[in-house]
Structure 1
Amino acid sequence: MTSFYELEAPTTWAEPPARYSFSSLQAIDACPRKWQLLHSEWGEHGRFPQRPHPKALEGTIVHEAIELLVRALGKRGLPSITSPAFREAVAEIDFWGHFAREVEKWNARLARHPRSGPFFVLRTPPRELANRAIRLFREQYTPLDAAPQAKASTSGESGPVDPMALLDQRGAVSEIDVSHPELPFHGVIDLVELVDGGVQVVDFKTGKQKEEHELQLQLYGVLWWRRTGVRPSRLAIQYLNQRRELRVGEADLVAAERRLEESIADAGRLLARTPAEARPGKDCGYCPARARCGAGWRAYQASLGRPRAGTTDLEVTVGVAPSPNGFVGEAGGREVNVVYDAAVGQHLPALEAGASLRLLDVVVRDEGKTFEVRPWTEVYGVPEEA
């Protein structure tokens, strides 16, 4: 069976999503090819097997915990840290247990990667991640001590249940998945509440203010309007330390819906090609599929200086027939040595003089004259046209 690293393209290209979300539309617009490569089938892998760096994963785990906590607190009117309502929110989401569960989940996922290794294991204790989250939260959180809003999550109740009837009954609903009745688009709205006789849609955010937050909230207003027939009179973005309220008229929502329709059409058109258009930029070096995107790889490599220590990504052409422990090759117009243990060499793609390889997380030796392939180094064969 052809190994994942010898596959030059997906075995089955990804189809456009049956339903888009705000984040998927953003991802497709940023780089259609990245979305397509990551969501396509690669041999035995249902999707491109990603291997995030542990430090990035730790940040994700901490951020997700804060998001979960803020949503639970938002339903309770953002109570003070010492209040019973705050403790109730912490218990509802099992805040402390979140970190152990996520560390265990990600370590199991990383271990299943074709090139797992000691550098790709989460080693920070869950309690330390929890303390990190608490510190970040305390630095920014501003309690409102408002009246409790939604009594319980209504996730999954947007099908047979009428969201507006539920809102009239409860006064507020939270975490409700709403789909547009005509466009293939949906979103999970954090909170919808009745305020001064009108409907207010609230989205909770834990990071810095961004223009895209307002765009996303407008689309959630469109979803509620088209799903229930009741147009929201207010939109609100609740950050940890402040709240932005937006008055919204029918013309605003109609314009947002028109932009949404155009975005969906653009996404479908972009993903109709295989491979889809690549949009190289500063983030190409962080793309999990960078070795399988010629345009992105070239842009990324052009931004790198000559590596002299640590680990790096490198494209190399085999100069002479390899030995069991390495070969002499050419990289960036200069001669380099590529070395590896015999046991590592047995798992590399077929090597012969003239073959091109892309090495990810290869170890730099001798100030950049030698590169060592370790068990966790990803070694991709490169087709001639890439």
Structure 2
Amino acid sequence: MKKDLVILGAQWGDEGKGKVVDLLSADFDMVVRYQGGSNAGHTVMVGGEKFVLHLLPTGILHEQAIGVVAQGMVVDLELLVKEIEELEKKGLKVWDRIYISDRAHIVLPYHKVLDSLFEKKGKIGTTLRGIGPSYMFKYGRKGIRVCDLEDPDRTYQLIKENIEFVSDLCEKVYCENHRLDAQEVFEKTMEHYKRVKERVIDTTRLILDFRGRVLFEGAQGTMLDIDMGTYPYVTSSNASALGLSNGTGLPPKYFSEANFWAVSKAYTTRVGEGPFPTELKDATGELLRERGGEYGATTGRPRRCGWLDLVALKHAVEVNGLDGIIITKLDVLDAFEEIKVCVAYEVNGKRIDHFPASLSLLQRVKPVYKTFKGWLKDTRGARSLSTMPSEALEYIDFIQEYLKVPVVMLSTGPEREEYFWLYEPAWK
């Protein structure tokens, strides 16, 4: 039996990973977030109460689970402390179960200044939380890691130099004046660090030495991966399985005994700019948005909606080496007489069966659709195959056949208990 599990997003994020990780975490001893930052918004409904987690692994809602904020993340310490304290106020004991990598980079106010400036000058559709600039500083060797905060003098000097760099960039390149007080940023950073200091360790060693079962939780989605997504309209980290080793510090061989599952909606959404071949800018798209409650957990922005894109989903299957797919929000399709899925693209009369890298090509493709008869029956909260309309099962069967990967679970509502297995895992 495979011991560990990797849960990823198969689309442009917002697939419902939060609920899936939450319900599966009951069977795991440790849950690890390994990339992204507070741009993630993982929403979970427990007993009618809504939890939205941005930095903490979703599995932390289960009191038996250890949570790890691994080295591939960029961490806003102020938001992390606030998130932990809010859960503690709700009666969840988090402080003694959370570990933060000493190698993780931190997000600072000057990163948010740059994020806002870059977005104003060239719209990508970011969350304005400083994630991209923080990764930019990391790879430009100007970043500050959690372990650096052990040396206050060095930390102050780095902050001072970076603020001077950002101020010069804003003024001399973008003709805008942004002044931050280095002493104030330093003092607030050290204040937040003191709150988490006791939870900072080498998380790579922690995971390697751990003997329990581990769930690895991805943020965003494969189509937002910095390398394999719709570049440049992507996030700033590897949101696919490619981010596992560098995000955790674990060798690739570590994951050879893990199951790789990805979460996909029964249709497609994306937030922000970028190509979206199956987008519906009509009443059908609006109905998908309203029935699905498609508004960002982090930003509140309305999501763009369209039919399920199996070309993009097959790309995710191949990039991640998936063992299974989890389909969410099938019940959103209950109101449609006809349901379409994209099975190929067409451009200049030529059929394309793979997901292209070229942005200009993606912007010109037209989806080739297969049409299914809708079921027009309520599937919300369904708990078994026997209660599902035959038309819905035909839809799911076609997805499995096209992707050549099993659909292992259907989520039929936001609550923990609204789901059922199609292929129950060995550990159940």
Structure number with bigger Rg: 1
Taking structure 2 as the reference length, what is the TM-score of the superposition?
0.24
Q: Which has the higher contact order (CA 8 A, sep 6+)?
A: 2
Taking structure 1 as the reference length, what is the TM-score of the superposition?
0.26
